[in-house]
Structure 1
Amino acid sequence: MFIKLSNIVKNYGEGINTFRALKGVNLEISKGDFVALMGPSGSGKSTMANILGCLDVATSGEYMFEDVNVFKLNRNERALLRRYYIGFIFQGFNLLPRTTALENVELPLLYRGVNKHKRRKIALDSLEMVGLNGWENNTSNKLSGGQQQRVAIARAIASKPLFLLADEPTGNLDTKRSVEIMNILQWLNKDLGITILMVTHESDMAKYANREIHFLDGNIDYSKGSL
């Protein structure tokens, strides 16, 4: 199994003020899967996404990423796991505003120590994959919302991640641009074999995934047909 979470509990606070965000969640994700994580605000889906992305750790439970027990890694080791194996796409794009599309895509490769010539080629190839060939020298603050999200996707895939975590990737886009972004994500999954987990509250966007997992009150809501 590519990803397996067992009895995941996440508490915030202590004593009588403890809030249990996750209440013993079990979840498996196969390599090449495309999963939509859904649920109302406060359901636990964002907490689960943060744990899957190694941005947070659970209070208890086990998280296996291929053959690695993630919760036994220290902070630096989890950072390396994120850097080399996990890509992130955020609702707010998170691009540097006065930096070119090319430079934004090169950034994670710079952190990896990839030399200038190689990272430029990888970044250009990634931009071409998302339909931004010829836009590489435009600064992000001069691109449309849809183009900025394409740059964010190019940045995420430039490091060739095994696992792509997309947090509300169409949340700031109109319907037409949302469909364009979802088509790209579907292509990345089907053609490149990248495993994707997408957090979304939009049922129309969730239909692009292979399966939907609904959260409610800190656990998986199987009444919604979650698989």
Structure 2
Amino acid sequence: MSPVPADAVPPLIRLQGITKIYGTGDAEVRALRGIDLDIAGGEFVAIMGPSGSGKSTAMNILGFLDKPSGGHYFFGGAAVDHLSRDQLALLRRNFLGFVFQGYNLLARTSALDNVELPLIYQGMAISQRRQLAREALAKVGLNGREDHHPSQLSGGQQQRVAIARAIVTNPDVILADEPTGNLDTSRSQEIMELLSDLNRTDGITVLMVTHEPDMAAYADRLVHFVDGCIQSDTLNGKVAADAV
């Protein structure tokens, strides 16, 4: 990696020589083998690769859900790889939003209450968090669905609730793990258009794991993992074409 000028703005996310090892001896598994990755604020990055390639491990580290075995992780220019679990939880709470394949909504709770949940963890007053939750649901096109429970919503609508929950804290980064994996083609395209709009309009950095090339095509940049290493890191073809 080339030296960064002292006056240059550091990337929002920087991984330097990140390794992750599980087990010891004959049971040792090297999930990551020295990852170097820079992600600027406002990028939309798709992370791809076969099962066991290390992409999910990398996402867990990027999301402060796991700690690397070696190397350095910088977020906003500050080293975070040696922070305590409580400190990492605080970073997650204030800077990240998560979207999962399985939606992870509370089944017996309304859409509004599901979206409020991160704000409860922040200790926000009920009147303020209700207002912010309504605004987040409106942003994802779910006006009038505030009182609906997940069982009363389609899969695409449930994922919109999950995205509203991810953005209600105004995060710097959304980490999306196979966000369209349980949806049909039409609903998948709707969700990807929504994530793209949040990226373009609100400037939210989006990091997305996907197996689907059609979904990865929405990203600005494609990072392919193989055997715990980054095999390639390229601009999306459509972005490169637009730049010509």
State TM-score, norm by structure 2: 0.91
Gaps of 5+ in 1: none
Cα distance in 2 between the residues matched to 1:90 and 1:26? 25
Aligned to 2:36: 26
The question of 1:116 aligning with 2:95 is answered no
Aligned to 2:159: 149
The question of 1:161 aligning with 2:160 is answered no
**Structure 1 residues 67-146: aligned runs within 5 Å:** 67-146=77-156
Aligned to 1:195: 205
For each residue in 1:133-161, what CA deviation from the matched residue of structure 2 results, as whole angstroms up to 9, or x when unmatched?
00000011211100000000000000000
* Offset of residue 16 of structure 1: 2.2
The question of 1:37 aligning with 2:47 is answered yes
Find the residue that maps to 2:91 and give its secondary structure.
Answer: helix
Cα distance in 1 between the residues matched to 2:82 and 2:224? 28
Cα distance in 1 between the residues matched to 2:98 and 2:208? 10
Q: Is the 8 A contact 1:140 1:148 kept in 2?
A: yes
Amino acid paired to 2:136: S
Using the aligned pairs only, state the percent identity: 58
Aligned to 2:234: 226
List 4+ stretches of structure 1 deviating above 2 A.
none
Cα distance in 2 between the residues matched to 1:141 and 1:185? 23
Amino acid paired to 1:215: F
Cα distance in 2 between the residues matched to 1:30 and 1:170? 24
* Offset of residue 68 of structure 1: 2.0
Find the residue that maps to 2:158 and give its secondary structure.
Answer: helix
Amino acid paired to 2:60: N
State TM-score, norm by structure 1: 0.98
One of 181, 190, 197 as aligned partner of 1:180: 190
Aligned to 1:5: 15
Q: Is the 8 A contact 1:220 1:226 kept in 2?
A: no
Q: CA RMSD in A?
A: 0.8
One of 181, 200, 208 as aligned partner of 2:218: 208
Cα distance in 2 between the residues matched to 1:10 and 1:72? 14
Amino acid paired to 2:118: P
**Which region of structure 1 is more displaced relative to structure 2, 97-106 or 67-76?**
67-76
* Offset of residue 19 of structure 1: 0.6
